[in-house]
Amino acid sequence: MFRSARIKLTSWYLLIIMMISISFSLVIYRVLISEVERFARSQRFRIERQLQEGVLLPPDGHIQTGTLPLLTDPDLVEDTKHRLLFVLIIVNSGILVLSGGLGYILAGMTLKPIKEMMEEQNQFITDASHELRTPLTSLKSAIEVNVRDKHLTVAQAKKLLAENIKDVDKLQLLSDELLQLAQYQKPNGKTADMSLSLQSVVKKAIRNVEALAKAKSIPITNTVGDAILRGDSTELSDIFTILLDNAIKYGKENNAITIDSDIKNGWALISVTDKGIGIGKGDIPHIFDRFYRADTSRAKTKAPGFGLGLSIAKK
């Protein structure tokens, strides 16, 4: 599809360039031919005037019939026209070949971001469909099996409903994260710009993950210095919440998490440090990819989530 679009775009580039080139060539041809003819007429008038004044009269003092046209040499004028036309054709042919090659390259550069965006979108749809299918399949299978069971007890039905609620919660979590990611991807999305306390934003993020940290007996050490920043309090809090949430999910029980800051030259560098399972160097370039955890060994930890957190934080 993109190859066809690239060829079409190249054709349009080529058409526009050649229309401009041929138009300029016609103008140049008309101007130069006009100058050649003007020069020929001027030369003829000069010779006529000199002949009339006797400057170029033959020794016998008489002008022979047919001599004057020979002095203007009309064949030379026609030859000049033909050579000029030939040169312009060669030049335009060169422009055609050069523009075709450069146009093809330029078309590729123009379409590259669109191609990457389409590939990313298709990959996103595929990954989202996969993530949606898993809980839906589990939900459907459990319901079908228990519906066929004629001896299903009330206790078993309640257990089934409890499991179904967990699957529904997963679907709700995924839809919430997808909506949040879409919100941050809006090109015209507005971000509030206000003065706020860094310490208060970090404390809010810690409160958001406090229950999850207590469940794994993971203390959070806050050594962030207080500073006044400009930005959106909600978005900054979301970023820190995502980072802390990841640290807790993949961290080891009873191992502390530290959130620290380094403020220099008007910039605040925030770091979140944990003693978790770590991540391979080869996987680091992909940590902000959507659904990243679905294709990595980190997924084996059975940590909740869909791998959208860091993508949201990046946006």
Contact 11, 89 (CB under 8 A): no
Q: Which of 35-39, 52-56, 267-271 has the lowest mean pLDDT?
A: 52-56
Q: How many other C-beta atoms lie within 10 A of the C-beta of residue 97?
A: 10
Higher pLDDT, 18 or 241: 18
Residue 6 CA to residue 104 CA, distance in Å, equals 7
Q: How many CB atoms lie within 10 A of CB 201?
A: 24
CATH architecture of the domain covering 194-314: 2-Layer Sandwich (3.30)
pLDDT of residue 90: 92
9 vs 169 pLDDT, higher one: 9
Residues 63-91: what's their mean pLDDT?
71
User: Which amino acid appears at position 81 of this protein?
Assistant: K
> How many Cα neighbours within 13 Å face the side chain of 232?
9
Domain 124-184, CATH? 1.10.287
For residue 304, give every residue at least 6 positions away whose Cβ sits within 8 Å of its Cβ, in sequence order, or none: 170, 173, 249
Cα-based angle 30, 33, 35 (whole degrees, multiple of 5): 110
Closest alpha carbon to 203 in 174, 240, 167: 240
The total number of residues shown for the chain amounts to 315
Structure tokens, 214: 């207590």
User: Furthest-apart CA pair in the chain: how many Å?
Assistant: 139
Name the one residue in this structure whose structure tokens are 């003829």: 44
- Nearest-10 crossing angle of helices 74-148, 154-184: 160
Question: By C-alpha distance, which of 249, 242, 261 is closest to 300?
Answer: 249
Residue 104 has pLDDT above 70, yes or no: yes
